[in-house]
């Protein structure tokens, strides 16, 4: 399953667009999306006037980029100076990393004191059963259905976070959670954003 197809041929593109707006980006902001795949989220942030960078570990994901400012890098060691960005995002990355706090600490290092770190991950409401119900309700077929169910299965195998869990993860990384929201059907995704503590 290619992330280029998922980002461009399924409802996931709308989820990323909604996440981009939820981050309330401002024109002129310098932004970084970690684990960007082919770069749809940075492309949306660029459309909103940001100078938007993206990084991904996987060279193949960057093979047919949807955006210009993409580079290969590992979330745990990002090749940018401290306090560079107004907004650092990660969509559907931290929930399957073995050490999510480590990546989040690295994201914190890069964000300005007045900046934001924003995450999208499976919520506590995510499960294969809930995803199947949503797929049936919406009549999803093909890649749309398969990618939603695959996401749910990966979430069950790794992390699903509620607001309390993400608040603790933020605190562990030196961040303070400021806002949280549930999106996608009955709330299968949890969006959070927060600021640096000091």
Ligand X SMILES: C[S@@+](CC[C@H](N)C(=O)[O-])C[C@H]1O[C@@H](n2cnc3c(N)ncnc32)[C@H](O)[C@@H]1O
Q: What is the enclosing helix (H) or strand (E) of 129?
A: helix 128-137
Nearest to 85 by CA among 50, 120, 47, 56: 50
Rounded Cα–Cα distance for residues 179 and 123 (Å): 14
DSSP SS3 for 161 = strand
Torsion angle, alpha carbons of 77, 79, 82, 85, to 10: -110
Nearer to ligand X, 47 or 136 (CB): 47
Tell me how far, at minimum, the Cβ of 58 lies from ligand X, in Å. 3
Nearer to ligand X, 47 or 58 (CB): 58
Tokens 């499976």 identify what position?
122
Nearer to ligand X, 28 or 142 (CB): 142
Beta strands at 51-56 and 30-34: parallel, antiparallel or unpaired? parallel
Tell me how far, at minimum, the Cβ of 159 lies from ligand X, in Å. 13
List interacting residues with ligand X (CB under 6 A): 3, 7, 16, 34-37, 56-58, 61, 74-75, 91-93
Tokens of 10: 């399924």
Tell me how far, at minimum, the Cβ of 19 lies from ligand X, in Å. 8
Tell me how far, at minimum, the Cβ of 73 lies from ligand X, in Å. 7
Nearer to ligand X, 18 or 51 (CB): 18
């Amino acid at each position: 399953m290619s992330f280029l197809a998922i980002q461009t041929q399924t409802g996931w593109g709308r989820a990323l667009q909604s996440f981009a707006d939820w981050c309330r980006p401002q024109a002129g902001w310098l932004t970084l999306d970690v684990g960007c795949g082919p770069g749809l989220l940075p492309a949306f942030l660029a459309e909103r006037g940001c100078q938007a960078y993206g990084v991904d570990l996987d060279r193949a994901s960057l093979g047919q980029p949807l955006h210009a400012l993409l580079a290969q890098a590992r979330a745990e060691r990002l090749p940018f100076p401290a306090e560079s960005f107004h907004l650092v995002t990660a969509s559907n990355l931290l929930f399957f990393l073995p050490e999510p706090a480590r990546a989040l600490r690295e994201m914190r290092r890069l964000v300005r004191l007045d900046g934001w770190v924003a995450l999208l991950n499976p919520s506590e409401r995510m499960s294969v059963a809930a995803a199947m119900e949503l797929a049936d309700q919406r009549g999803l077929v093909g890649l749309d259905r398969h990618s939603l169910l695959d996401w749910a299965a990966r979430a069950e195998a790794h992390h699903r976070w509620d607001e309390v869990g993400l608040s603790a993860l933020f605190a562990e990384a030196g961040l303070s959670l400021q806002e949280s929201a549930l999106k996608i059907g009955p709330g299968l995704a949890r969006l959070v954003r927060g600021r640096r503590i000091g």
